[in-house]
Amino acid sequence: MRRLFDLVGIPGAAQRARLYPHELSGGQNQRVMIAMALAGQPDILIADEPTTALDVTLQAQILILLDTLRRELGMALVLISHDLSVVGETCQRIAVVYAGRIVETAPAAGIFNTPAHPYTQGLLKATPRPQGRGRQLLPIPGQVPEPGNMPSGCAFAPRCPHARGQCGVISPGLLRVSHAHHHAACLLFASDSRSSVPHNPREPANDTA
């Protein structure tokens, strides 16, 4: 444990290993959780909301730590977060999930510069940006469907400004948007000959991030 505490940057590892969680700061507790995850020497580290409830300074420290550990230990990192700024700064590839399935996947630059799926576009329009001070935020209308009462066809169709008749019937697979590494599960891209990744609407889509 002391070696792992040293690895994740907890000072005075020998003394702090004897402390209770309430005796540690939020950032130190987060580092302890990362150390616990590394104890099994994983090939893939799944970090689910690792910066929740941390201030901006601690958030940056944890993200830098995760990236450093990823490179030094040669492991893959899957970061799950609702914070687009965190995802954009940390990830090389992004998968956008809506109602339990992947609706768009692309390199990070593709998601932020040329978002394809209407849900991704809505997320970005509703996200505050420093350079957009004074700009009105545009929330996505409607509500996320309940897991036990999913609509037929595309789950986002009831909230989508581009929805058409087929959207309420067909749940499309991931369709190629602009190149082989950018796909979106939207019928807007089904009118040409671009390749599709088949998808069973009863099962969540799988992808790597």
Q: Are residues 77 and 162 in the same domain?
A: no
- Which among 58, 75, 91 is the end of a domain? 91
Q: Are residues 67 and 133 in the same domain?
A: no
Residues 39-89: pLDDT tens digits?
A: 989 999 999 998 888 888 888 999 999 999 999 999 999 999 998 888 988
Q: Are residues 82 and 104 in the same domain?
A: no
In 33-177, which ranges are E strands?
44-48, 76-80, 93-98, 101-107, 174-176
Cut 0.85: pTM above it: no
Could you give the number of structural domains in the chain? 2
Residue 46 is classified by DSSP as E
- DSSP states of 159-190: G-TT--GGGGT----EEE-SSTT-EE--GGG-
Residues 155-189: pLDDT tens digits?
A: 999 999 999 999 999 999 999 998 779 999 999 99
Sheet containing 101-107: which strands, arranged edge to edge? Answer: 93-98, 101-107, 183-184, 174-176, 196-197
Q: Are residues 60 and 39 in the same domain?
A: yes
3 state DSSP class of 134: coil
Residues 120-154: pLDDT tens digits?
A: 999 998 887 766 666 778 889 999 999 899 999 99
Please report, for the domain that includes residue 156, its CATH number.
3.40.50.300
Q: Is the pLDDT of residue 33 over 70?
A: yes
The span from the CA of 119 to the CA of 163, in Å, is 12
The span from the CA of 41 to the CA of 205, in Å, is 27
Q: Are residues 85 and 119 in the same domain?
A: no
Q: Are residues 108 and 69 in the same domain?
A: no
| pLDDT band, very low/low/confident/very high, at 18 (cuts 50, 70, 90) | confident
- Which among 91, 116, 151 is the end of a domain? 91
Question: How is residue 22 written in tokens?
Answer: 């309430």
What is the residue range of 162's domain? 93-209
- Which among 91, 112, 136 is the end of a domain? 91
